[in-house]
């Protein structure tokens, strides 16, 4: 028998938590992110509630642009520790429903419920229960997708939001995935989308008809993955890991970047974005790694492992910059940068470096 996989994604997560804490925000456009400084602010939007999205405001957009689109919105700075705490609570609710789970970010989790329900319809009923329990206990809504694999489940949770439930049975996969824009597939960002558009490929169905060899010629190994995804194929398991193995972020630049200072500033922002989670979850790490992708999609990773565990922010930043440095001397433009820490240790008080 095939698998039944659920993907749960919280709706406008940071904004939903803020709305829960401040009833005066309800019904108004709310933007969580950098200080807009009346349009002069230089940071980005972390997320916006659905009301602000009606004005075109989106995650990762410059905050100055959000201000132009929606000057009447409420703008708040993120309160990461509150989001991390809420996420922990919600994830422990979800994990009660299957011991086969994989949390993939602060607001997303896969559950393999193959052994818990008899069919997709029963999985739908279970999903309704999970949605209601999260809403009752945490006052936050989520959307759930159910499919025969992780790829379809994730696409399904995104299909109807907020507070949606989308079930895609094995026989519905092709009908569901064919009309979707290629951009929805994991790993296809704005630039890849543009390349595909140049090849007259806009939908998953069109992508599925391209010879896998041509995709590999253009995109390397990722071309093979693109081909598989276009057919709705995903054999990857929901890994039963109790703990997160690494924490990090990555960002694709709106335009490819040739200036090291901009790459370094992006590293600072990425580290700011996840370091709070390291502290509030009492996590220490041993390894810092970076990922860099150039304009031609060539991608490299580099890592440095220390002899000691630490939670020091400066170490993450400095190491990431040191690792990236050698790639920036060759004058090529960068399209994506990522920073990650791994080799994690949970819940112990940090030793000072002197003690190590």
Establish if 14 lies at the interface with ligand TTP (CB under 6 A): yes
Does residue number 153 form part of the binding site for ligand TTP (CB under 6 A)? Answer: no
**x-marked contacts with Mg ion along 51-90 as a string, rule CB under 5 A:** ----------------------------------------
Total number of residues binding ligand TTP (CB under 6 A)? 14
- Residue from 107, 112, 138, 234 that binds Mg ion (CB under 5 A)? 107
Kindly give the pairing relationship between strand 142-147 and strand 5-10.
Answer: antiparallel
Strand-pair partners of 247: 341
Among 12, 34, 127, 247, interactor with ligand TTP by CB under 6 A:
12
Strand, helix or coil for residue 337: strand
Out of 6, 46, 113, 334, which residue is the one contacting ligand TTP (CB under 6 A)?
A: 46
Is residue 9 near ligand TTP by the rule CB under 6 A? Answer: yes
Q: 13-21 and 80-95 helices cross at what angle (nearest 10)?
A: 100
CA distance 148 to 342: 30
Tell me which stretch binds ligand TTP (CB under 6 A): 5-13, 69-77, 170-178, 325-333: 5-13
Residues 160-189 that bind ligand TTP (CB under 6 A): 161-162
Within 56-115, the residues that bind ligand TTP by CB under 6 A are 59-60, 106-107
Applying CB under 6 A, among 3, 31, 34, 47 the residue interacting with ligand TTP is 47
**Applying CB under 6 A, which part among 7-15, 274-282, 293-301, 314-322 lies near ligand TTP?**
7-15
Tokens 């220490």 sit on residue: 284
> Distance between CA 255 and CA 9 in Å, rounded?
28
How big is the chain by its Cα radius of gyration, in Å?
Answer: 21
- Cα–Cα dist 248/283, whole Å: 13
Nearest-angstrom CA–CA distance, 196 and 189: 11
Q: Cα dihedral sign for 233, 151, 100, 135?
A: negative
Q: How far is the CB of 84 from ligand TTP (least distance, A)?
A: 11
Q: Which stretch binds ligand TTP (CB under 6 A): 4-12, 67-75, 314-322, 333-341?
A: 4-12
Distance of closest approach, residue 324 Cβ to ligand TTP, in angstroms: 20
Interaction partner, residue 252 (ligand TTP, Mg ion, none; CB < 5-8 Å by kind): none
Give the count of alpha carbons within 13 A of 187, CB side only.
16
Q: Which two tokens stand for residue 10?
A: 């919280």
Tokens of 247: 């924490």
Taking the C-alpha atoms of residue 40 and residue 60, their distance in angstroms, rounded to an integer, is: 16
Query: Is 108 annotated as catalytic?
Result: yes
Residue 18 binds Mg ion (CB under 5 A): no
Please name which of 234, 324, 244 lies closest in space to residue 277, comparing C-alpha atoms.
Answer: 244
Say which of 19, 102, 108, 138 is annotated catalytic: 108
Return the number of the residue (273 or 343) whose C-beta is nearest ligand TTP.
273
Q: Six-digit token pair at 55?
A: 């004005």
Catalytic annotation, residues: 108
Q: Which residues bind ligand TTP (CB under 6 A)?
A: 9-14, 46-47, 59-60, 106-107, 161-162
């Amino acid at each position: 028998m095939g698998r039944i996989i659920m993907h749960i994604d919280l709706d406008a997560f940071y904004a939903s938590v803020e709305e829960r804490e401040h009833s005066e925000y309800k019904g108004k456009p709310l933007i969580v992110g950098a200080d807009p400084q009346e349009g002069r602010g230089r940071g980005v939007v972390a997320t916006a509630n659905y009301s602000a999205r009606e004005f075109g405001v989106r995650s990762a957009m410059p905050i100055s642009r959000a201000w132009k689109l929606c000057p009447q919105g409420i703008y708040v700075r993120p309160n990461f520790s509150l989001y991390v705490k809420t996420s922990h609570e919600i994830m422990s609710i979800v994990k009660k429903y299957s011991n086969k789970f994989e949390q993939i970010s602060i607001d997303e989790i896969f559950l393999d419920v193959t052994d818990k329900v008899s069919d997709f319809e029963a999985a739908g009923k279970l999903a309704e229960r999970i949605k209601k329990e999260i809403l009752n206990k945490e006052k936050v809504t989520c959307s759930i997708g159910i499919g025969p694999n992780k790829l379809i489940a994730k696409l399904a949770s995104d299909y109807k939001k907020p507070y949606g439930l989308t079930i895609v049975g094995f026989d519905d996969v092709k009908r569901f995935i064919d009309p979707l824009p290629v951009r929805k597939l994991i790993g296809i960002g704005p630039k890849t989308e543009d390349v595909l558009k140049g090849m007259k490929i806009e939908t998953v169905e069109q992508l599925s008809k391209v010879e896998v060899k041509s995709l590999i010629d253009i995109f390397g190994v990722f071309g093979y993955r693109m081909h598989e995804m276009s057919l709705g194929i995903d054999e990857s398991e929901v890994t039963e890991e109790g703990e997160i193995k690494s924490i990090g972020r990555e960002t694709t630049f709106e335009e490819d970047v040739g200036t090291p200072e901009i790459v370094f500033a992006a590293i600072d922002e990425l580290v700011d974005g996840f370091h709070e989670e390291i502290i509030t979850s009492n996590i220490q790490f041993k390894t810092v790694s970076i990922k860099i992708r150039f304009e031609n999609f060539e991608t490299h990773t580099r890592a440095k492992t220390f002899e000691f565990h630490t939670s020091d922010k400066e170490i993450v930043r400095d190491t990431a910059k040191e690792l990236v440095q050698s790639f920036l001397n060759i004058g090529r433009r960068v399209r994506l940068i990522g920073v990650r820490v791994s080799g994690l240790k949970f819940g112990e008080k940090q030793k000072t470096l002197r003690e190590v």
